Amino acid sequence: MRDEIRSLLRDLPSMDELLQKRWTGRFQEILGREAVRSTFADVIGEVRRDLIKGRINSIDPGHIESEARSRLEKYSRKSLRRVINATGVVVHTNLGRSCLGAGVLENVMQASGCYSNLEYDLEEGLRGHRNSHVEWLLTSITGADSALVVNNNAGAVLLCLAALGRDREVIVSRGELVEIGGSFRIPDIMEFSGALMKEVGTTNRTHLSDYLNALSPATGMILKVHPSNFRVVGFQAEAAREDLASLAREKDLIFMEDLGSGVVVDLGAWGLQGEPTVRQCIESGVDIVTFSGDKLLGGPQIGVVVGRSQILDRIRKFPLLRALRVDKMTLAAFESTLRLYLEKKTDEIPTLRMISQPLKELERKARTLASGIRRSAGLRAKAVATHDAVGGGAFPATDLDGFGVEVEPPEGVTDGSLLESLRKSPVPVVASARDGKVIFHVRTMLEGDNKDVIEVLKNLAGQEGSHDQEN
């Protein structure tokens, strides 16, 4: 090590000196002295490495303090926080997908704040099964013989393939070998499960004869996969679900479908066509259907398997099921959500309520928000038509006609910098931009969000005004 670097390293502030800074007291109370010490150590270690590698050539004590302070501010806040979704994407994967209704949240609190009969049969006084809390509800809603739940749909797909297709050929169309968000790739999942993937057809056209010609003594399953955000249009074809079910029955194979979003009610009344319901798949002869609970179903993150009881009995005995089991809070939320379907109270499911909002109602909400922004924040704002989206991989080619509020950033502020300031505000707001203006889509804004958006914009506009006066 060169002498000049050794000399600079001696100029690094001592830990005792840093911990005695008055501003650290608040963080030591919130996080503890050791956490503050560790944060300073991390920053000093990074500066030391930069010196040795020649990336910097001087010591800036002010930088060490400001960097440590910035990190401690971040550590002092809850990491998982409420965010205002003003993007117009209803099932927004990055923002937690579906919101839960008030009644559902109340049941979650009851289940998690006290003891429950999670795995206890109150009638028999014996150990019970956690799956029993939702199985009857699922079979009633979907028309399936049997049902079970796991932690998410990727887990459901993996479990079914591992329990039913291990060391057997599983036939799947090349047009359905998709990658879904988070690097969830069907070929990778099949390989990990131990199933032997057998591709048929082409990316855009797969016929029933392709499946028939691919059959061999090693074939165990036929798999149909929801394409999620991927669509092939134009010159394309796929085998009908009913024909695949008939082929599977004739050849004594299992026909499995990964339905993805898990639609359990017909959304056609709201202009959304083309997504089959789970019941329709079961009635078409699919043996087992997997789907998510936190997308179009509008519940918590959960993976569902419904289908023929004799097939699900085999899955129940597979050891992987225990590793994927669902916790009590998720089960409470899912049961409560399913009961809303059974009671025909889907208007109490936020996801469906957002999707089905009448355009006039959205326009009224946008005008109200625009008026509040103009009056309180002093910014130019007006109601504008928008294109919203269902999200979650469902209906990727279908826009939802909506309304939002177009806000012109203060003078000298770009739409990008305003979006960043909104994200970093005490109540984070995630919006969109168009033609240099920031757009707040009201479809996905919940009750009470207007007040917080107006307050955030008011504070940001005030800060910008004070900067202008200083300059």
Grade residue 281 by pLDDT with cuts at 50, 70 and 90.
very high
Per residue in 411-420, pLDDT (tens digit) is 889 999 999 9
Grade residue 269 by pLDDT with cuts at 50, 70 and 90.
confident
Choice among 57-61, 130-134, 137-141, 429-433 with the minimum mean pLDDT: 57-61
- Residue 397: per-residue pLDDT: 72
- Residue 466: per-residue pLDDT: 44
Residue 180, classed as helix, strand or coil, is strand
Higher pLDDT, 319 or 236: 319
Question: What stretch(es) of the chain map to CATH 3.40.640.10?
Answer: 102-346
Fold of 102-346: Aspartate Aminotransferase; domain 2 (3.40.640)
- Residue 394: per-residue pLDDT: 80
Torsions phi, psi for 432 (to 5 deg): -130, 175
Cβ proximity of 245 and 284 under 8 Å: yes
- Mean pLDDT score across all residues of the chain: 91
Cα 339 to chain centroid distance, Å, stands at 22
Among candidates 435, 432, 441, 378, which has minimal Cα distance to 410?
378
The reported pTM is 0.89
230 has pLDDT over 70: no
Per residue in 455-465, pLDDT (tens digit) is 999 988 876 54
Grade residue 1 by pLDDT with cuts at 50, 70 and 90.
low
402 has pLDDT over 80: yes
Residue 400, classed as helix, strand or coil, is strand
Question: What stretch(es) of the chain map to CATH 3.90.1150.180?
Answer: 84-92+353-470
Residue 113: exposed, middle, or buried by beta-carbon count in 10 A (0-12, 13-18, 19+)? exposed
Token pair 């506009």 is at which residue? 461
- Residue 467: per-residue pLDDT: 46
Q: Distance between terminal CA atoms of the chain?
A: 46
CATH of domain 84-92+353-470: 3.90.1150.180
Residue 114: exposed, middle, or buried by beta-carbon count in 10 A (0-12, 13-18, 19+)? exposed
Choice among 4-8, 79-83, 180-184, 205-209 with the minimum mean pLDDT: 180-184
Is the sign of the CA dihedral 331, 333, 336, 339 positive or negative? negative
Per residue in 119-157, pLDDT (tens digit) is 999 999 999 999 999 999 999 999 999 999 999 999 999
- Residue 100: per-residue pLDDT: 95
Higher pLDDT, 291 or 274: 291
Choice among 110-114, 178-182, 386-390, 396-400 with the minimum mean pLDDT: 178-182
- Between the alpha carbon of residue 63 and those of residues 7, 13, 70, the distances in Å are 19, 11, 10
Grade residue 82 by pLDDT with cuts at 50, 70 and 90.
very high
Higher pLDDT, 411 or 246: 246
Per residue in 289-335, pLDDT (tens digit) is 999 999 999 999 999 999 999 999 999 999 999 999 999 999 999 99
HEC-encoded secondary structure of 276-297: CCHHHHHHCCCCEEEEECCCCC
Q: Cα(136)–Cα(294) distance, rounded to whole angstroms?
A: 19
231 has pLDDT over 80: no
Average pLDDT over residues 414-432: 95
368 has pLDDT over 70: yes
- Residue 469: per-residue pLDDT: 39
Cβ proximity of 466 and 121 under 8 Å: no
Per residue in 351-366, pLDDT (tens digit) is 999 999 999 999 999 9
Grade residue 163 by pLDDT with cuts at 50, 70 and 90.
very high
